Amino acid sequence: MNGMYDLHTHTILSDGDMLPTELIRRMAVMGYTTVAITDHVDTSNTTSVVESLLEVRESAQLYGVKLLCGVEITHVPPSQIAGVAKRAKTAGADIVVVHGETTVEPVAEGTNHESCSCEYVNILAHPGLLTIDDARLAAKNNIALELTSRAGHNRTNGHVAHVAKKTSCQLVVDSDAHSPHDLLDKRAKFVIAIGAGLTESEANAVISLNIDRFLTS
Protein backbone atom coordinates (compact mmCIF):
# COMPACT_ATOMS: atom_id res chain seq x y z
CA MET A 1 0.00 0.00 0.00
CA ASN A 2 1.29 3.43 -0.95
CA GLY A 3 0.37 6.53 1.02
CA MET A 4 1.50 8.16 4.24
CA TYR A 5 2.97 5.71 6.71
CA ASP A 6 4.58 5.69 10.12
CA LEU A 7 6.18 2.45 11.23
CA HIS A 8 7.26 3.49 14.73
CA THR A 9 4.74 4.89 17.24
CA HIS A 10 3.90 4.41 20.92
CA THR A 11 0.76 4.38 23.05
CA ILE A 12 -0.19 3.89 26.69
CA LEU A 13 0.68 0.22 26.23
CA SER A 14 4.23 1.42 26.96
CA ASP A 15 5.38 5.02 27.40
CA GLY A 16 3.09 6.91 25.02
CA ASP A 17 0.36 9.38 25.98
CA MET A 18 -2.47 8.11 23.77
CA LEU A 19 -4.73 5.11 23.60
CA PRO A 20 -4.12 3.13 20.42
CA THR A 21 -7.44 4.23 18.93
CA GLU A 22 -6.77 7.91 19.66
CA LEU A 23 -3.39 7.67 17.95
CA ILE A 24 -4.99 5.99 14.94
CA ARG A 25 -7.76 8.59 14.73
CA ARG A 26 -5.35 11.50 14.87
CA MET A 27 -3.20 9.94 12.16
CA ALA A 28 -6.21 9.16 9.98
CA VAL A 29 -7.21 12.83 10.08
CA MET A 30 -3.65 13.74 9.01
CA GLY A 31 -3.94 11.50 5.96
CA TYR A 32 -2.07 8.38 7.08
CA THR A 33 -3.11 5.10 5.47
CA THR A 34 -0.65 2.78 7.26
CA VAL A 35 0.27 3.05 10.93
CA ALA A 36 2.40 0.64 12.94
CA ILE A 37 1.99 0.75 16.70
CA THR A 38 5.24 -0.54 18.12
CA ASP A 39 5.20 -0.25 21.88
CA HIS A 40 8.30 -1.09 23.87
CA VAL A 41 8.72 -4.74 24.78
CA ASP A 42 11.17 -7.13 26.37
CA THR A 43 10.79 -10.71 27.57
CA SER A 44 8.07 -9.67 30.04
CA ASN A 45 5.36 -8.26 27.79
CA THR A 46 5.89 -9.15 24.13
CA THR A 47 2.88 -11.42 23.74
CA SER A 48 0.48 -9.27 25.78
CA VAL A 49 1.29 -6.11 23.82
CA VAL A 50 0.72 -7.81 20.48
CA GLU A 51 -2.53 -9.39 21.65
CA SER A 52 -3.81 -6.02 22.90
CA LEU A 53 -3.06 -4.35 19.57
CA LEU A 54 -4.82 -7.07 17.61
CA GLU A 55 -8.01 -6.02 19.41
CA VAL A 56 -7.73 -2.54 17.84
CA ARG A 57 -7.48 -3.65 14.20
CA GLU A 58 -11.21 -3.32 13.49
CA SER A 59 -11.31 0.23 14.89
CA ALA A 60 -8.42 1.18 12.63
CA GLN A 61 -10.21 -0.24 9.59
CA LEU A 62 -13.30 1.82 10.43
CA TYR A 63 -11.10 4.93 10.35
CA GLY A 64 -9.58 3.92 7.00
CA VAL A 65 -6.17 3.01 8.42
CA LYS A 66 -4.27 -0.22 7.98
CA LEU A 67 -2.95 -0.99 11.45
CA LEU A 68 0.30 -2.93 11.65
CA CYS A 69 0.41 -4.53 15.08
CA GLY A 70 4.01 -4.44 16.19
CA VAL A 71 6.61 -4.08 18.89
CA GLU A 72 9.82 -2.21 19.54
CA ILE A 73 12.29 -4.53 21.23
CA THR A 74 14.00 -2.22 23.68
CA HIS A 75 17.22 -2.65 25.71
CA VAL A 76 17.00 -6.42 25.42
CA PRO A 77 20.39 -8.18 25.65
CA PRO A 78 21.61 -8.79 22.08
CA SER A 79 21.60 -12.58 22.46
CA GLN A 80 17.86 -12.47 23.28
CA ILE A 81 16.75 -10.27 20.40
CA ALA A 82 16.06 -13.07 17.93
CA GLY A 83 14.01 -14.99 20.48
CA VAL A 84 11.87 -11.99 21.41
CA ALA A 85 11.39 -11.07 17.76
CA LYS A 86 10.27 -14.60 16.93
CA ARG A 87 7.91 -14.57 19.92
CA ALA A 88 6.33 -11.34 18.65
CA LYS A 89 5.79 -12.76 15.16
CA THR A 90 4.37 -15.99 16.60
CA ALA A 91 1.90 -13.93 18.65
CA GLY A 92 0.69 -12.23 15.46
CA ALA A 93 2.89 -9.16 15.08
CA ASP A 94 2.97 -7.70 11.57
CA ILE A 95 6.17 -5.77 12.17
CA VAL A 96 9.13 -5.94 14.54
CA VAL A 97 11.24 -2.88 15.26
CA VAL A 98 14.39 -2.96 17.34
CA HIS A 99 15.56 0.00 19.43
CA GLY A 100 18.97 0.50 17.87
CA GLU A 101 22.24 1.80 19.29
CA THR A 102 21.24 5.45 19.51
CA THR A 103 24.01 7.69 20.81
CA VAL A 104 21.79 9.13 23.56
CA GLU A 105 20.96 5.93 25.48
CA PRO A 106 23.07 3.08 26.91
CA VAL A 107 21.91 0.47 24.40
CA ALA A 108 24.01 -2.68 24.63
CA GLU A 109 26.81 -2.99 22.11
CA GLY A 110 25.95 -5.65 19.58
CA THR A 111 22.25 -4.71 19.39
CA ASN A 112 22.62 -3.36 15.84
CA HIS A 113 24.51 -6.43 14.65
CA GLU A 114 22.07 -8.95 16.13
CA SER A 115 19.11 -7.01 14.73
CA CYS A 116 20.57 -6.78 11.24
CA SER A 117 21.18 -10.53 11.33
CA CYS A 118 17.67 -11.51 12.44
CA GLU A 119 15.09 -12.88 10.02
CA TYR A 120 12.23 -11.72 12.26
CA VAL A 121 13.25 -8.04 12.41
CA ASN A 122 11.83 -5.52 9.92
CA ILE A 123 13.24 -2.17 11.04
CA LEU A 124 16.29 -1.05 12.99
CA ALA A 125 15.25 2.19 14.66
CA HIS A 126 17.64 5.10 15.25
CA PRO A 127 20.75 2.90 14.87
CA GLY A 128 23.26 5.59 15.78
CA LEU A 129 26.72 5.14 14.27
CA LEU A 130 25.81 1.98 12.39
CA THR A 131 28.72 0.25 10.68
CA ILE A 132 28.88 -0.41 6.96
CA ASP A 133 29.11 -4.16 7.61
CA ASP A 134 25.91 -4.15 9.67
CA ALA A 135 24.16 -2.03 7.05
CA ARG A 136 25.14 -4.61 4.44
CA LEU A 137 23.62 -7.31 6.66
CA ALA A 138 20.43 -5.27 6.97
CA ALA A 139 20.22 -4.88 3.20
CA LYS A 140 20.75 -8.61 2.72
CA ASN A 141 17.94 -9.41 5.18
CA ASN A 142 15.53 -6.72 3.92
CA ILE A 143 15.71 -4.78 7.18
CA ALA A 144 15.06 -1.06 6.83
CA LEU A 145 17.07 1.62 8.61
CA GLU A 146 15.17 4.45 10.21
CA LEU A 147 15.50 8.20 9.81
CA THR A 148 13.75 9.66 12.83
CA SER A 149 12.37 12.97 13.98
CA ARG A 150 12.81 12.00 17.64
CA ALA A 151 14.98 14.51 19.48
CA GLY A 152 18.40 13.10 20.34
CA HIS A 153 17.93 9.97 18.30
CA ASN A 154 17.98 12.11 15.14
CA ARG A 155 21.55 13.30 15.70
CA THR A 156 22.92 10.56 13.46
CA ASN A 157 20.31 10.68 10.68
CA GLY A 158 22.93 11.92 8.23
CA HIS A 159 25.26 9.03 8.99
CA VAL A 160 22.41 6.51 8.73
CA ALA A 161 21.38 7.89 5.35
CA HIS A 162 24.98 7.79 4.15
CA VAL A 163 25.56 4.13 5.04
CA ALA A 164 22.14 3.16 3.72
CA LYS A 165 22.87 4.69 0.33
CA LYS A 166 26.32 3.14 0.26
CA THR A 167 24.89 -0.34 0.91
CA SER A 168 21.56 -0.02 -0.97
CA CYS A 169 19.68 -0.52 2.29
CA GLN A 170 16.06 0.54 2.49
CA LEU A 171 15.32 3.70 4.50
CA VAL A 172 12.09 4.68 6.23
CA VAL A 173 11.11 7.98 7.88
CA ASP A 174 9.28 7.59 11.20
CA SER A 175 8.17 9.83 14.04
CA ASP A 176 8.77 7.57 17.06
CA ALA A 177 5.67 9.41 18.30
CA HIS A 178 4.75 9.32 21.96
CA SER A 179 2.44 12.35 22.06
CA PRO A 180 0.14 14.18 19.59
CA HIS A 181 2.71 16.90 18.98
CA ASP A 182 5.20 14.28 17.74
CA LEU A 183 3.11 13.33 14.70
CA LEU A 184 4.50 14.36 11.31
CA ASP A 185 2.71 15.79 8.31
CA LYS A 186 3.97 14.97 4.83
CA ARG A 187 6.10 18.11 4.62
CA ALA A 188 7.83 17.30 7.90
CA LYS A 189 8.66 13.79 6.71
CA PHE A 190 10.13 15.22 3.51
CA VAL A 191 12.24 17.73 5.44
CA ILE A 192 13.65 14.96 7.68
CA ALA A 193 14.69 12.99 4.60
CA ILE A 194 16.24 16.00 2.88
CA GLY A 195 17.93 17.07 6.11
CA ALA A 196 19.57 13.64 6.35
CA GLY A 197 21.21 14.21 2.98
CA LEU A 198 18.82 12.54 0.55
CA THR A 199 18.11 14.11 -2.82
CA GLU A 200 14.60 15.31 -3.55
CA SER A 201 13.85 12.23 -5.64
CA GLU A 202 15.33 9.91 -2.99
CA ALA A 203 13.28 11.62 -0.28
CA ASN A 204 10.06 11.30 -2.27
CA ALA A 205 10.76 7.60 -2.89
CA VAL A 206 11.35 6.94 0.81
CA ILE A 207 8.27 8.74 2.10
CA SER A 208 6.03 7.07 -0.50
CA LEU A 209 7.40 3.57 0.07
CA ASN A 210 4.96 0.73 -0.66
CA ILE A 211 4.82 -0.79 2.81
CA ASP A 212 2.99 -3.97 1.80
CA ARG A 213 5.66 -4.72 -0.78
CA PHE A 214 8.47 -3.94 1.65
CA LEU A 215 7.10 -6.24 4.36
CA THR A 216 6.50 -9.15 2.00
CA SER A 217 9.63 -8.96 -0.13
Whether the Cβ atoms of residue 125 and residue 99 lie closer than 8 Å to each other: yes
pLDDT of residue 1: 55
Q: Identify the pLDDT of residue 2.
A: 64
Residue 31: pLDDT band with limits 50, 70, 90: very high
With a pLDDT cut of 70, the percent of the chain lying above it is 99
In this model, does residue 3 exceed pLDDT 90? no
Sequence length of the chain is 217
The per-residue pLDDT of the chain, averaged, comes to: 97
Residue 165 falls in which region: left (phi positive, over 0), alpha (psi -120 to 50) or beta: alpha
Cα–Cα distance list, 105 to 40, 102, 124, 133, 178 (Å): 15, 6, 15, 22, 17
Using only the alpha carbons of the chain, give its radius of gyration: 15
Residue 186: pLDDT band (50, 70, 90) is very high
Among residues 86, 91, 22, which one has the least CA distance to residue 50? 91
State the burial class of residue 170 (Cβ atoms within 10 Å of its Cβ: 0-12, 13-18, 19+): middle
* 37-86 residue pLDDT tens: 999 999 999 999 999 999 999 999 999 999 999 999 999 999 999 999 99
How many other C-beta atoms can be found within 10 angstroms of the C-beta atom of residue 119? Answer: 11
What is residue 14's predicted lDDT score, i.e. its pLDDT? 98
pLDDT tens for each residue of 95-144: 999 999 999 999 999 999 999 999 999 999 999 999 999 999 999 999 99
For 16, the 3-state DSSP assignment is coil
- Three-state secondary structure string covering 37-58: EEEEECCCCHHHHHHHHHCCHH
What single string gives the DSSP state of each residue in 66-107? Answer: EEEEEEEE-S--GGGHHHHHHHHHHHT-SEEEEE---TTS-P
Domain covering 4-216 assigned CATH 3.20.20.140 in the classification: yes
Q: Is the pLDDT of residue 198 over 70?
A: yes
Burial degree of 32 (CB within 10 A; 0-12, 13-18, 19+): buried
